[in-house]
Structure 1
Amino acid sequence: MIELSTYDIAEPVTGDDYGELLRVLAPVATRFGLIVQMPFAVLHEPAREVLERLGGHLVDAMDTQAWPGSQIVGRMTVERFLFRLDAESLEVLVSSASSLYDWVNPMLPEDLHFLRSDGSVVLGTVAQEDDAWLQLTPAEYEGIAARIPRGVVLRRA
């Protein structure tokens, strides 16, 4: 069992700090996920463009009631898309938003999350609630701590 510590991201991550944080975390993750609240969300053009640009990186798409930080009660489901994280898909994420909290339907797919190869969470967000966190091993934290942008405020949970 991997020992993970949770670090809450205490302040909004925007602008250059947003892109830098994603770049710092990318080597820890192999995949990322995005949520589409179907059938209720009619996605706007920017969301459709992001999904189109990421299409070649798609690993899986599924109906679900749970994803990092969220659980739906009842019969409703959402569409969860999982993508391969590489330099090209990372740049789509960086260029498509200016904040972790921009990832909200219908303007963009929702709740960006980064995952390790075993499916465990590296970065989780619940964008509508301005909630974001990291789950890192001690070695991962040590490896990236000095590179985390100064504007990113972490609090150990």
Structure 2
Amino acid sequence: MIVIKQNPEKDVYRNLLDLSFEICDQFHLVLRKDMGPLTTYEPILKRLENSLIVMKEESEWASTILGSGQTALVYYYRTDANANKVLTEVTNSLYDWVQPHLPEDLSFFKQGKEWLVTISHEKESYIYTEDEYEIKKVMGIKGLKLEIDR
């Protein structure tokens, strides 16, 4: 596991997203129903609509397990050019993906397995890979502060 030690911002954020889109085939965004009106997010959801695979009401996603019967709306998307463009135009920081400003916990998946997992409100993120090529590519992102935890 690779621990991201500092919020990826600006070029570091864009380069991390580009690599995530290269390696992964899906990502998700989460809307917690207990965090205010969901209509606030309609503009970004509309922009991502063509990349949407499915929306599920779930109590568990890559970085969180809710308790006591709570659920959230989890939107799963393809990693395509449209989605990459939207994610880089909406913000320039990985930890900006937190309600009430944006959907939460942008996380990426490679063949159904968690690859980049973000807990935005905790300012935590992790990359799960043992692939040496992927590790080399992640380590090559200039300005990305990392710690490898093996």
Structure 1 length as normaliser, TM-score?
0.87
Deviations 1:37-92 (A, max 9, x none): 115421474x3221110011110111111111211111110000000111121111
The answer for unaligned runs of 5 or more in structure 2 is none
Aligned to 2:130: 137
1:59 aligned residue (53, 59, 64):
53
Alpha-carbon separation, structure 1, partners of 2:120 and 2:135: 27
Q: Given the superposition, is the C-alpha separation of residues 52 and 7 from structure 1 closer, same or farther in structure 2, using an over 3 Å criterion?
A: same
Identify the match of residue 32 of structure 1 among 4, 24, 27. Answer: 27
- Aligned: 1:90 with 2:84: yes
> Which residue in 2 is equivalent to 1:151?
143
C-alpha separation in 1, matches of 2:90 and 2:9: 12
Given the superposition, is the C-alpha separation of residues 10 and 40 from structure 1 closer, same or farther in structure 2, using an over 3 Å criterion? closer
User: What is the identity percentage for the equivalent residue pairs of Structure 1 and Structure 2?
Assistant: 26
Unmatched 5+ stretches in structure 1: 1-5
User: What is the root-mean-square deviation in Å for CA atoms of aligned residues?
Assistant: 1.6
TM-score by length of 2: 0.91
> Is the Cα–Cα contact under 8 Å of residues 35 and 100 in structure 2 kept in the other structure?
no
Q: For the residues of structure 2 that align with 1:72 and 1:113, how far apart are their CA atoms?
A: 17
Asked if residue 80 in structure 1 is aligned to residue 77 in structure 2, the reply is no
Using the alignment, how far apart are the partners of 2:31 and 2:109 within structure 1?
A: 18
One-letter amino acid matched to 1:24: L
Q: How many residues of Structure 1 are paired with residues of Structure 2 in the alignment?
A: 149
**Shift >2 Å, 4+ stretches:** 137-143
Q: What is the Cα deviation at residue 146 of structure 1? A: 5.5
